[in-house]
Chains A and B, each alone.
Chain A
Amino acid sequence: MSPAATPYETVIGLEVHAQLSTRSKMFCGCPTTFGARPNTQTCPVCLGLPGVLPVVNRRAVEFGIRTALAFGCRVNEACRFARKHYYYPDMPKNYQISQYEEPLAEDGFLEIDIEGGARSIGIQRLHLEEDVGKLLHEGTLETAQASLVDFNRSGVALMETVSRPELSSPEEAAAYLRAFRAVLVFLGVCDGNMEEGSLRCDANVSIRPRGSAKLGTKVEIKNLNSFRNVQRALEFEVRRQAQALDAGERIAQETRLWEAERGYTRSMRSKEFAHDYRYFPEPDLVPLQIDRRWVEEIRAGLPELPRAWRQRVVAQYGLPPYDAEVLTQSRALVDYYEAALREWAPASGTAADRPKVLSNWIMSELLRVLPGDDEQAVRGSPIPPRHLVGLLRLIENSTISGKIAKDVFQKMFDSGQDAPTIVERDGLTQVADEGALGQVIDSVMAANSKAIEDYRRGKKEAKGALVGQVMKATRGKANPALVNRLLEDKLSQT
């Protein structure tokens, strides 16, 4: 739906919860490994047993500060934790340790690239808290009489970041989430794995008559756990609200749940009382006074962020912005690209098209066989950057054709061997022997007199068919440039 198509404008704010990549939980020493057997990573603290004392994980605070600095936030000198009270079986203490009045950091921004330019989206606050357990329903949701609880996730360090309501379309919201994820992944504070729930998103959305200064009634949507779902859910919700207003109805301020399989949002009535959280300062934790020297140390260690990296490679190598965007889906992929480029094109004597050739191969081949947003998968690629460059060198010096190279790529991926080894073993070297190729061309021409006739009558495409026949006869090993030249010579002779 294009914005101009409706009389309303959309106002969206996003709350993103990111699991921090700490080894241990936020307030206890239990491990945070995903996928462990249920209820094997718990202790009295994260089970909420009486009489225990939480202790803050220093690394989680460091990660929070690192992220805050990347977003240009002010890191508060003093911050404290608070109890947020509500009842739900995934939370055994009946309160979540979070931050309320004095969060770790406030007032930053995130720049997003959207069609037609860049926008800066305000970040209101960033705070630390603990995750809750995981609920599984026995049987289907409709028929279940009981739920099963796994507390392995209970107490895992979470960072909540709240944007200002400055996103003006579902597309922008998805762009924000993508940019947000990329920053966290580059900082190494979150693995960004949305399928495993490392990054989760809630949205606040309202619409108002175009040009109106007053905000409309805001609806909170939960359960937006992929870029696609953020966009779909918001598109649905904006449409639902517009239809309601068109029909003269009022929008209820409520929490709605996105049902991804069914493609709609539905009201969660049980949350009626949920907003009375009765926050108060957590008596079991003393306040934090963030040392400025610590902040400056963390600032000094910030890496180049995805947006800066993209701008640099676009300017430096002439890489299309699209390629740069694809490559920044993980830190590992950027590292892969850079390692390969260093290997292939050292500072001196850089062939101008190598950066693009390399990104083409990464996008069309490597990302076909590897999930590019999976840090571990990319780092553990059976084809390390050095091997990919080895393959590209064989194309560059005409040892193999681009077509054969794709087969070799697959064999490299399957075996972990390098390109020269495979090409040698399987006899894939291009036929670049003029005499041998000339014989093949002669027999192809003899068998395709019609194509030759067509060619001479001016139908130049006929040559392509002949080249194809030669390639087929040599099982793709002929050097295409040489075939073209030889064929042209022969066609012009006779």
Chain B
Amino acid sequence: MDATVLFSHGSLLCGAGEALLAHAERLRRRGISPIVAVGYLNYSDPPFLQTVGECVERGATRILVTPYFLVPGYFVKVDLPKTVAEAQAKFPEVEFVVAEAIGFDERLADALIESAREAVGPAGWRQDLRRASQFCRPDAKCPLYGTPNCPKQPMPVECEQNQ
């Protein structure tokens, strides 16, 4: 059984994974493979290795690793193979197939033009910062931690319950 794992960098900002989770959800609905999950290199949960473990537990025998990176740079060329090698060592019976990074695609031009058509004035520019507090996690490194934009701090316990 196949699992697709979107491999992403991760971020300190709460809620930074929102777009990635939306892609995963769409790929799931489109039925690209029986399992679609995300795994991170840094900062965000779950780390890639944990995601792979969960996929294997659910019966995956082949993991399609799709980098959520624009550029096949250091993370994709060095960190990703290293991370996949770790996973391969831990799950020797599982086959890993790594896809290409996004790179050039004419549809990125469509995305830019469509985004520009929906562009908004200054009042809408910090929506993501405000929305990020909905995804609050007890992380002192989050740029929102302890700011008015993070109303759940200093209540890290409540944050955990909201996970």
Asked if A pairs with B, the answer is no
